[in-house]
Amino acid sequence: MTPAPPAITIRHRHHPGLAVLFFTEMWERFSFYCMLSILVLYMDESLHFSESTCAQIWGLYNGLVYLTPLIGGWLADRFLGFRKAILIGGVSMGLGHLSLAFHPLPTFFLGLSLLIIGNGLFKPNISTILGNLYRDTPEKRDDAYNIFYMGINLGALFSPLVASYLRNNFGWDYAFGAAGIGMIIALAVFTIFRKHVANGEIRAQDRVQTSTNRGVAVSKKQEKDRIIALLLIFGVVLAFWMVFDQNGLTLTYWARDNTDTSISPEIFQSVNPAFILIFTPLLVLFWNQLRKRGKEPATATKIAIGMLLTAAAYGVMTLAGLTGGNHGRVGVSWLVGTYGVITLAELLLSPMGLSLVSRLAPPRKAGMLMGAWFAFTALGGYLSGFVGSFWKDMDHSTFFLMLVVASLIAFGVLMLLLRKLHGTISEAERMEKELATASVD
């Protein structure tokens, strides 16, 4: 077997591959949300599906998009490798978007199928490569995922605006075509600058095979402990997605029916990605300052703080309901303030969760477990719809208080698990550094 190339160690700045993955993911998410922002409108206005059929296709598509990464990660681990999985997935997604630009009905379902398959191969493996680039500098991995997350939201911020402009001025074909072009640009960035991410494409098991003679290997017990730790984190963070995803459901109803504003309710969907772009540089700077003083919280602690902030965000909405929002309209500052707090919570949970998966996943299951993260995201999204079904059955303040309680329960469970999680994470980081040293030697 070809020995792994020397790992690149950068102590005072980020790996150059971060910029490559940032722009690759930015254009991929531009592509993804460009299509998603007009999907229901296209089914309703162009294909003339019933509302029930639109809802069923929407739900099935979103569920499969976040479940297939489990399979895509497994395929990368066992057969394809990360680079091939990303390239095949990217081509599939590009063809999927372009298929939607044709009006005959069979191409619509073909396009959705190609997007589901492509996303399953692309999404978990690009996140895994990013973690692999920081094998030798795990202390900077959290910041790297925060910056990477900015790329996701930069694409998400502008894509609905582009799709809306093209649809209204030129037609559906141009909007879907723009999504396809976005995917082509993403693949071009990843391919042209591949040399900067080549080290991250090496699967952990390949590194292990070159180092087992030096005594660096994950035992069966250690592997079991890591998987259990990740499943516990997944279970807790599932509660976050269940609560967070109300932003596209009940918080949209609140914006339309209970907020004293002339702004269209869908415009508020841009508030969250805008806050992410504002907060992320400040948060990275804050963690860097704490790190220099030796006071930066551990990743699992950051996730716990995020769950506490989630409870605080819906605590704001509970007060908004009690002060007039239950049966009337209140000022827009309540909703914007809530988005601000829950965005901070998201930055402490989503990119930190990705970082944690890259640290804890056993070498032979890194891609699959990254896919499991997205599968739990899908389940949380599904549960958000179930919880949202109670919106009409209770006062809004009571509904939001229910979300506060759910977030606090998840926070409490995570606090009880912190000591065990810290031990498992520390051991994984120690072995990762030993493995990096053995691979270079």
Where do the domains of the chain lie?
A: 16-202, 224-441
Q: CATH number of 224-441: 1.20.1250.20, 3.30.1490.190, 3.30.470.20, 3.30.460.20?
A: 1.20.1250.20
**Residue 439: both structure tokens together:** 């691979």
Angle among Cα 400, 402, 408 to the nearest 5 degrees reads 105
Mapped onto helix, strand or coil, the DSSP state of residue 330 is: strand
**Bridge partners of residue 259, in order along the sequence:** 330
Neighbours of 305 (CB within 10 A): 17
CA–CA gap between residue 383 and residue 222 (Å, rounded): 32
Q: Which fold has domain 16-202?
A: Growth Hormone; Chain: A; (1.20.1250)
Identical fold at 16-202 and 224-441?
yes
* Residues contacting 45, CB < 8 A, separation 6+: none
Q: What is the dihedral of CA 390, 242, 234, 358, to 10 degrees?
A: 170
CA–CA gap between residue 421 and residue 433 (Å, rounded): 19
pTM given for the model: 0.78
CA–CA gap between residue 105 and residue 142 (Å, rounded): 44
Q: What is the pLDDT along the chain (441 residues), one digit of tens a residue?
A: 334 443 333 345 789 999 999 999 999 999 998 898 888 788 888 898 887 788 788 778 877 888 899 899 999 988 899 999 999 999 999 999 999 988 777 899 999 999 999 999 999 999 889 988 888 787 788 889 989 999 988 988 888 888 888 988 999 999 999 999 999 999 999 999 999 998 888 765 555 554 444 445 677 888 888 888 899 889 988 999 999 988 877 888 898 889 998 887 767 877 888 899 999 999 989 998 998 898 989 888 999 999 999 999 999 999 999 999 899 999 999 999 999 999 999 999 988 888 888 888 887 788 888 888 888 988 888 888 888 888 888 999 999 999 999 999 999 999 998 888 888 888 877 776 666 565 555
| C-beta of residue 333 within 8 angstroms of C-beta of residue 319 | no
**Residue 206: both structure tokens together:** 């390949």
CA–CA gap between residue 361 and residue 345 (Å, rounded): 23
| C-beta of residue 183 within 8 angstroms of C-beta of residue 123 | no
